[in-house]
Structure formats: C-alpha cells, structure tokens
C-alpha cells in the first residue's frame, strides 16, 4: 500500500524565515519540506487541532517471495 499523494502548493516565505527553517531541518536531518510539515503539525497540535497520523512510506527491501 502506498502513501496517498501530498497536496503541492506555492509558498512565499521571508528569506530569513526560510534560512531558519533550513537550519532547523538540517539539525533534525530532515528536508525543508518535511520540517515545515512537522512544524505545522506541532503548531496545530498545540492549538488542539487533531490530525490523523501521517502514512509513512515503507522503507527497505520488499520481502522475498516464497517459491
């Protein structure tokens, strides 16, 4: 089962804000996109907005097929 497609949209940010997010993402070993998503989820959680857990893509090798 694959993860559902994500919604893409343009986002304009102040360059200083983008640089801060970029630094934060690097320290957490995430992409800027993943960091923005994480920060938004945290902010919504603090406001009491309930979200479903994100579907994580399966990693690693697929299981061997039995013969």
Report how far apart, in Å, the C-alpha atoms of 45 and of each of 13, 17, 39, 51 are.
Answer: 22, 21, 10, 8
- Claim: this prediction has a pTM higher than 0.75: no
Contacts 24+ apart (CB under 8 A), 56-63: 56/3, 57/2, 57/3
CA distance 57 to 29: 17
Tokens coding 1: 């089962």
pLDDT digits (tens, 9 = 90+) for 13-55: 999 999 999 999 999 999 999 999 999 999 999 999 988 887 7
């Amino acid at each position: 089962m694959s993860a559902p497609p994500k919604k893409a949209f343009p986002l304009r940010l102040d360059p200083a804000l983008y640089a801060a997010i970029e630094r934060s993402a690097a320290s957490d070993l995430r992409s800027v996109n993943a960091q923005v998503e994480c920060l938004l989820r945290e902010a919504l959680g603090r406001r009491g907005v309930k979200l479903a857990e994100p579907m994580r893509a399966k990693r690693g090798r697929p299981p061997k097929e039995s013969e």
